[in-house]
């Protein structure tokens, strides 16, 4: 009886306690709710004033209704965690906030969460250092990876966490520290992730004591020293990753005992010796040791690994054969053993399960044929076997693989022809087949491989014509067919490949006339038609291209050399064409008969020449235009690309008269003034906009035509008499700057008093506009950098998708920002030389834009 009473008393006391406690808990949790923000309105729906806290979504209680866990992982939460109140939850053991956008500092109050066993703050956006948490002695799982913590991590806090099972603090930008020796005492650890958190020097002694480890990663650090042999004691490891450090020495003897290993990656170190320790690791799924100094043979046993899916050993000094059965057992994904000295043949069965995505064996000494099995490998995306000694015919069906993006067979002794199967190669972007023994014709079906960007079939024995359908390849940027046995005429349709920037058809037997459509390539940068049998006159359209490489030598061209190609005639680009004649008495070319000369004295009045010419008016403008073009293309598809003013054809016909231009040169159209003249925006009756630059001739500053403009003119700034130097310089620049990035000069209009240059109008685009509107008196570094990167991006766009490095020759200060148009303007703002930009593109990343510049004194 009494006992029962006591029990009742106790129970009611407990329930009082818990209900009081429950109100506190609610306060704490509602406080948490109010400090955090999230986009999922449903998440906190159950967190309200009436519900029991133990039914709040993500909250777990023990049998006494005391909160033990809060799990709000991956809920798009942001805000600062209120540890001061959270740690007042008396039974809190588990906090899971991973994969959110939590920010701010983690406060010292976290030290009060003394019962915590599980803390996951990983994958967030915190800042500042992580506080000392030595009081959290019961910790078992600590996930702080990729959370933005910096400074020094409180490694000594780990010393009291003797029960720690999993520790993940990688991917944080800590200050450089040695690998924490504190972890060596954590004998129960089974998971240790310390990659990419700025650890240096050598690994601590004793790591081999952590025999419970199954997962050990410390990649992307600055660790040095011989790779420790102790590691071989970690028999339970299934994942060991230490790539991208500076470890030296050999793969330790005894590694063979780590037979549970499935994932092993020691790439990008300085390891030497051979791979013989690996031959017993039969459970490996992924084996990577690329970019080391390893030598010897690939153990033949690797060919028997039943679970192997990925093998990457490129850039070592390996010799001998590739085990022939490699990849034939599991769902093999890729092999990359490029850049070694491997011999023998390509293993035939790596795509046996139909899952292989990449076969990369470039630059070895492999011989034999390409196994026909790869022609059936529908999953294959990258097929690269270049620079070996492969022979025999390329399996025809390889050309038609539906997912293949790159076929690189160059520099072998391969024969066969490019088959009509290519019609199904819808993903194919690049063909590199240079220097082989391919023969046959280019199939008409190539026109259906519409993703093609690069086609290099040079130095083979391909014959026949270029198929007419080539014009369908709208993305084609580079076409190299030189040194083959191609004949027939160059199809006019090539002019429809409006992305072409690099064409080399030299050393073939092409005949007939050069199609004038070649002059309409908007992006052409390089054209080599030399050593063919091309005849007829040089199309006038070609004269308006401004190329960094132009070669029509050794053909059978006849007739007058267009005046705009005088420079080319001098540098040999037209030599070996005995039928060409010159109007301007160019050495080594006979003079044309008088009748073919053109009427000369046009200076007096108005000359409109429909020139599609270049001027890097503003690299930024070009970039914006390219960007706009790309956006438009994305928005409207191909149609709008065609309509873009990039089409040179439209320049031949001027859609305006000089009268219309002259009428528009008035104050309200003025958009800019600068060192060299005024710039007006002219909207034509057809709605088209033009930019017109007006330069006064300096010898007549007093006589101004009121009808044109009443604003002060700038001619007097440029002393020295005679006709405007600016004008001459600009026209001169237009015919000498060689670059594919064009701002069109439609015409020039001159009179005795002044000169007008009529350009295409770039909205908001020009650097000058920018300077003008921002009224900045000088270009700051950021702006300069921005402009250079803009230019680089513009160029990159032109070279988009190139697999091979593109090093742009012409990107330098003199033709990016300092053409004759901009120079005086920049000088106006107290700046002379500005920027040098380099565009270097490599196969993996895309663009590296390097810039440097300086402000000229004075």
Ligand X SMILES: *[C@@H]1O[C@H](CO)[C@@H](O)[C@H](O)[C@H]1NC(C)=O
Is residue 34 within the footprint of ligand X (CB under 6 A)? no
Is 120 annotated in the active site? no
Element holding 202 (H helix, E strand): none
Q: Is 10 helix (H, G, I), strand (E, B) or coil?
A: helix
Among residues 90, 178, 225, 254, the one that binds ligand X under rule CB under 6 A = 254
Nearer to ligand X, 191 or 746 (CB): 191
By the rule CB under 6 A, 257 interacts with ligand X: yes
The reply on whether position 535 binds ligand X by CB under 6 A is no
Q: Is 403 in the site for ligand X (CB under 6 A)?
A: no
- Tell me if 413 contacts ligand X by CB under 6 A: no
List the x/- string, 95-114, binding to ligand X by CB under 6 A: -x-xx---------------
Interaction of residue 548 with ligand X, rule CB under 6 A? no
Give the x-and-dash track for 224-253 against ligand X (CB under 6 A): --------x-----------x--------x
Q: Is 56 in the site for ligand X (CB under 6 A)?
A: no
Specify the DSSP element, H or E, that contains 231.
none
Binding region for ligand X (CB under 6 A) out of 20-28, 171-179, 691-699, 752-760: 171-179
Q: Do the Cβ atoms of 529 and 549 come closer than 8 Å?
A: no
Residue 841 structure tokens: 């593109």
748 near ligand X, judged by CB under 6 A: no
Q: Applying CB under 6 A, does 172 fall inside the site for ligand X? A: yes
Q: Which of 386, 402, 487 is nearest to 442 (CA)?
A: 487
- 205 counts as binding ligand X under rule CB under 6 A: yes
Q: How many other C-beta atoms can be found within 10 angstroms of the C-beta atom of residue 7?
A: 10
Rounded to a whole number of angstroms, the minimum distance from the CB of residue 528 to ligand X is 4
Does 159 participate in binding ligand X (rule CB under 6 A)? yes
Q: Note whether 811 and 851 are within 8 A (CB).
A: no
Q: Is 331 annotated as a binding residue?
A: no
Q: Does 51 bind ligand X (CB under 6 A)?
A: yes
The sign one gets for the Cα dihedral 164, 168, 170, 171 is negative
519: contact with ligand X by CB under 6 A: no
**Could you tell me the CA-to-CA distances from 90 to 66, 109, 141, 750 in Å, in that order?**
8, 14, 19, 88
Give the three-class secondary structure for 351. coil
Distance CA 382, CA 579 (A): 47
HSE-up of 636 (CA within 13 Å, CB side)?
12
Token pair of 37 as six digits: 């923000």
For ligand X, the closer of residues 274 and 472 by Cβ is 274
The DSSP symbol for 676 reads S
Rule CB under 6 A: choose which of 28, 32, 61, 184 binds ligand X. 184
Nearest to 393 by CA among 372, 415, 411, 374: 415
Tell me if 124 sits within 8 A of 95, measured CB to CB. no
CA distance 817 to 784: 10
In terms of CB distance, is 219 or 698 closer to ligand X?
219
From the list 810, 819, 828, 842, the catalytic residue is 810
Task: For the beta carbon of residue 313, count every other beta carbon within 10 angstroms.
Answer: 25
DSSP-derived 3-state class of residue 166 = strand
Q: Is 507 in the site for ligand X (CB under 6 A)?
A: yes
Applying CB under 6 A, the span of 93-101, 675-683, 713-721, 728-736 interacting with ligand X comes to 93-101
Tell me the closest approach of the beta carbon of residue 201 to ligand X, in angstroms.
14
Q: Which is nearer to ligand X, 146 or 352 (CB)?
A: 146
Nearest Cα neighbor of 723 from 746, 699, 748 is 699
The stretch among 1-9, 165-173, 367-375, 716-724 that binds ligand X (CB under 6 A) is: 165-173
Q: How far is the CB of 522 from ligand X (least distance, A)?
A: 22
Question: Are 132 and 157 a contacting pair, CB within 8 Å?
Answer: yes
Identified binder of ligand X from the candidate list 21, 100, 145, 618, rule CB under 6 A: 145
> Quick one: how many helices (H) and strands (E) in the chain?
11, 48
Q: List, as residue ranges, the binding site for ATP.
A: 693
Catalytic positions: 810
Annotated binding residues = 693
The binding site for ligand X (CB under 6 A) comprises 45-46, 48, 50-51, 71, 73-74, 96, 98-99, 120, 122-123, 134, 143, 145, 156, 159-160, 168, 171-173, 184, 193, 196, 205-206, 209, 220, 232, 244, 253-254, 257, 363, 387, 482-483, 506-507, 528, 530-531, 549, 551
């Amino acid at each position: 009886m009494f006992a029962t009473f006591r029990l009742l008393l106790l129970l009611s006391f407990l329930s009082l306690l818990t209900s009081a406690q429950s109100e506190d808990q609610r306060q704490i949790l509602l406080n948490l709710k109010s400090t955090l923000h999230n986009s999922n309105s449903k998440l906190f729906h159950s967190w309200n004033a009436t519900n029991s806290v133990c039914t709040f979504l993500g909250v777990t209680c023990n049998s006494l209704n005391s909160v033990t866990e809060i799990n709000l992982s991956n809920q798009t939460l942001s805000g600062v965690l209120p540890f001061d109140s959270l740690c007042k939850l008396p039974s809190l053991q588990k906090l899971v906030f991973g994969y959110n956008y939590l920010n701010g500092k983690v406060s010292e109050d976290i030290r009060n969460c003394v019962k915590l066993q599980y803390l996951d703050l990983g994958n967030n956006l915190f800042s500042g250092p992580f506080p000392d948490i030595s009081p959290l002695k019961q910790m078992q799982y600590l996930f702080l990876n990729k959370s933005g913590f910096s400074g020094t991590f409180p490694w000594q806090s780990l010393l009291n966490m003797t029960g720690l099972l999993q520790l993940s603090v990688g991917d944080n930008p800590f200050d450089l520290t040695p690998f924490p020796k504190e972890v060596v005492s954590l004998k129960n650890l089974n998971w240790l992730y310390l990659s990419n958190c700025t650890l240096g020097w050598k690994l601590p002694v004793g790591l081999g004591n952590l025999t419970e480890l199954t997962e050990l990663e410390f990649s992307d650090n600055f660790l040095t020293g011989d790779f420790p042999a102790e590691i071989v004691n970690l028999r339970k490891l299934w994942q060991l990753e230490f790539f991208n450090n500076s470890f030296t020495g050999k793969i330790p003897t005894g590694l063979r005992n780590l037979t549970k290993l499935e994932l092993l990656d020691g790439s990008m170190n300085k390891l030497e010796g051979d791979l013989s320790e690996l031959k017993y690791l039969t459970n490996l799924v992924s084996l990577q040791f690329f970019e080391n100094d390893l030598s010897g043979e690939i153990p033949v046993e690797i060919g028997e690994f039943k679970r192997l899916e990925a093998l990457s050993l490129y850039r070592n000094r390996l010799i001998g054969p590739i085990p022939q059965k490699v990849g034939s057992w599991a769902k093999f994904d890729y092999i990359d053993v490029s850049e070694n000295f491997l011999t023998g043949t390509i293993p035939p069965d790596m795509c046996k399960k139909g899952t292989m995505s990449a076969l990369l064996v470039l630059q070895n000494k492999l011989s034999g044929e390409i196994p026909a099995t790869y022609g059936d490998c529908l999953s294959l995306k990258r097929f690269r076997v270049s620079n070996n000694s492969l022979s025999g015919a390329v399996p025809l069906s390889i050309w038609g693989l539906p997912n293949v993006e790159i076929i690189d067979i160059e520099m072998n002794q391969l024969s066969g022809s490019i088959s009509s199967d290519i019609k199904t190669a819808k993903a194919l972007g690049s063909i590199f087949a240079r220097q082989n023994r391919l023969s046959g014709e280019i199939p008409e079906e190539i026109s259906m491989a519409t993703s093609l960007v690069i086609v290099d079939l040079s130095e083979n024995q391909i014959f026949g014509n270029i198929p007419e359908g080539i014009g369908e390849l709208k993305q084609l940027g580079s076409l190299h067919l030189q040194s083959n046995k191609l004949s027939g005429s160059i199809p006019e349709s090539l002019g429809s490949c409006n992305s072409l920037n690099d064409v080399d058809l030299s050393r073939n037997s092409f005949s007939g006339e050069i199609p004038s459509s070649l002059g309409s390539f908007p992006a052409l940068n390089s054209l080599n038609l030399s050593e063919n049998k091309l005849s007829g006159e040089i199309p006038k359209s070609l004269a308006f291209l401004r190329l960094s490489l132009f070669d029509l030598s050794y053909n059978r061209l006849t007739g007058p050399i267009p005046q705009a190609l005088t420079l080319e005639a001098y540098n040999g680009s037209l030599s070996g064409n005995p039928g060409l004649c010159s109007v301007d008495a160019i050495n080594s070319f006979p003079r044309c008969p008088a009748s073919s000369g053109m009427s000369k004295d046009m200076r007096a009045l108005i000359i409109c020449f429909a020139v599609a010419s270049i001027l890097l008016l503003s690299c930024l403008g070009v970039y914006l235009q390219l960007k706009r073009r790309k956006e438009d293309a994305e928005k409207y598809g191909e149609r709008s690309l065609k309509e873009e003013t990039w089409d040179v054809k439209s320049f031949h016909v001027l859609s305006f008269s000089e009268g219309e231009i002259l009428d528009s040169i008035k104050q309200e159209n003025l958009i800019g003034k600068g060192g060299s003249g005024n710039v007006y925006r002219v909207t034509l009756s057809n709605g088209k906009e033009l930019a017109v630059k007006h330069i006064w001739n300096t010898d007549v500053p007093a006589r101004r035509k009121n009808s044109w403009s009443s604003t002060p003119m700038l001619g007097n700034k440029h002393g020295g008499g005679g006709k405007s130097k600016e004008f001459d310089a600009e026209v001169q620049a237009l015919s000498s700057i060689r670059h594919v990035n064009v701002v069109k000069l439609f015409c020039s209009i001159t009179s005795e008093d002044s000169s007008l240059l009529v350009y295409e109008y770039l909205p908001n685009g020009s650097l000058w506009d920018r300077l003008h509107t921002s009224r900045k008196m000088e270009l700051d570094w950021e702006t300069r950098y921005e402009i250079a990167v803009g230019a680089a991006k513009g160029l990159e766009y032109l070279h988009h998708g190139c697999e091979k490095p593109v090093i742009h020759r012409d990107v330098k200060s003199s033709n990016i920002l300092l053409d004759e148009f901009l120079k005086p303007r920049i000088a106006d703002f107290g700046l002379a030389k500005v920027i040098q930009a380099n565009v270097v593109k490599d196969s993996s990343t895309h663009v590296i834009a390097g810039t440097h510049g300086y402000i000229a004194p004075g």
